[in-house]
Amino acid sequence: MRPAAALAERLGLPVRDLDLLQQALIHSSYLHEHRDLAAGHNERLEFLGDSVVSLAISNALYRRRPDDDEGVLSARRASIVSTAGLARLAKRLELGSYLLLGEGESQRGGRHRPALLASAFEAVVGALYLDLGYDAASGFVTALAAAELTSDRPLGALKSPKSRLQEYTQRLSGERPQYRLVDAVGPDHDKVFRVEVAVGGLVIGVGEGHSRRIAETSAAADAIEGLRRTSEHVGSGSIDATELAAVLGIEGDDDPTDWGAPEVQPAVAEPWTEFDLEVLDLAPDTSAANGDESLTVDERAADAPTARPIRASDQ
């Protein structure tokens, strides 16, 4: 069975154009090594899917959070559509196992690399949009991101580690974090960057990644974890600890794999969920059962059950 057919079966969606979905799973490294087996890679579909995902999440947040202002809505959207956020959604689909990668990319852990997973997820959404239409594609995205869309996490916890660290250090001391490239090792196609972040000349975090941006994000997250541990030792009643909790979103949040964490593979993948096709408005002959015809897919999804855990017998 081709990866596209297996993924369509896994999703339970009425995919009509398997060739298009197959293209969404083809990484450029695979095309480079198998030009006779693939007509193209997934980057054009990724470009299209990026806009579909952004609009779907923006629309869902706007409808479901009438009390949030523009700034809060933007922060919530950014936490979901960031590389780390989209990779999180891709892992729920176990999308990495369906990707067609070049041998070298596969051996380097490409199936678990957040940037690659996020791009592939956008490509899949782009393919679903072209095949099934916007309502189906957006309904799929919002059903998959239901936990993030309904979360009441504090605003500080939704920002990227670099933004959170800079906001805290500037508020506390007036100084901005400084990032310094310590090392860059490996061949050009698989280089690993090591970065330190310092405040007032004191190194407070170190991070690594396959790009300088990812390494800086990892260093900022490392610094935040250090500050978190410091606040625990200082005591929750101190001014510094209170400030830290307010700015970094630490209070009530002890999960190091939150949406603002560095782009790393979680130790345990989140369980796959299947979607109710009636919620996505994809099942045949369901219009009469949907009740109010004026409701959009997003509005029906807000009130209806959207998923059930897959059982061992379904595997």
Average pLDDT of 134-149?
94
Q: Are 30 and 16 in contact (CB under 8 A)?
A: no
What is the pairing mode between strands 192-199 and 178-185?
Answer: antiparallel
Determine which of 64-68, 184-188, 204-208 has the lowest per-residue pLDDT on average. 184-188
What is the pLDDT at residue 41?
85
Same domain? 163 vs 142: no
- CATH number for the domain spanning 231: value is 3.30.160.20
Same domain? 125 vs 230: no
Range of the domain at 231: 156-248
Instruction: Flag whether pLDDT at 161 surpasses 90.
Output: no
Same domain? 33 vs 149: yes
219-247 pLDDT per residue, tens: 888 888 788 777 666 554 443 444 444 44
What is the pLDDT at residue 142?
95
Q: Say how many domains are in the chain.
A: 2
Q: Is residue 173 part of a domain?
A: yes
Determine which of 90-104, 109-123, 267-281, 292-306 has the lowest per-residue pLDDT on average. 292-306
Determine which of 141-145, 223-227, 266-270 has the lowest per-residue pLDDT on average. 266-270
What is the pLDDT at residue 312?
31
Same domain? 148 vs 207: no
Instruction: Categorize the per-residue pLDDT at 181 as very low, low, confident or very high, splitting at 50, 70 and 90.
Output: very high
Same domain? 109 vs 43: yes
Same domain? 37 vs 97: yes
Same domain? 8 vs 125: yes
Average pLDDT of 248-274?
37
- CATH number for the domain spanning 127: value is 1.10.1520.10
Same domain? 46 vs 142: yes
What is the pLDDT at residue 111?
87
Same domain? 112 vs 185: no
What is the pLDDT at residue 304?
34
Six-digit token pair at 25? 């799973």
Instruction: Categorize the per-residue pLDDT at 265 as very low, low, confident or very high, splitting at 50, 70 and 90.
Output: very low
Q: Is residue 305 part of a domain?
A: yes
pTM of the model: 0.63
Q: Is residue 263 part of a domain?
A: no
Pairwise CA distance, residues 262 & 266, whole Å? 10
Same domain? 36 vs 117: yes
Q: Cite the active site residues.
A: 50, 122
Instruction: Flag whether pLDDT at 175 surpasses 60.
Output: yes
- Buried-state track 37-66, b at ≥16 Cβ within 10 A, e below 16: ebeebbeebbebbbebbbebbbbbbeeeee
Six-digit token pair at 92? 């729920």
17-42 pLDDT per residue, tens: 999 999 999 998 888 777 777 678 89
Same domain? 8 vs 127: yes
Same domain? 94 vs 198: no
What is the pLDDT at residue 108?
77
What is the pLDDT at residue 129?
97
Q: Is residue 258 part of a domain?
A: no
Average pLDDT of 120-124?
96
Q: Is residue 81 part of a domain?
A: yes
The segment with the largest mean pLDDT, out of 131-140, 143-152, 192-201, 271-280, is: 131-140
Q: Is residue 97 part of a domain?
A: yes
Q: Is residue 179 part of a domain?
A: yes
What percent of the chain clears pLDDT 90, i.e. is strictly above it? 34
Q: Is residue 103 part of a domain?
A: yes
Average pLDDT of 52-68?
95
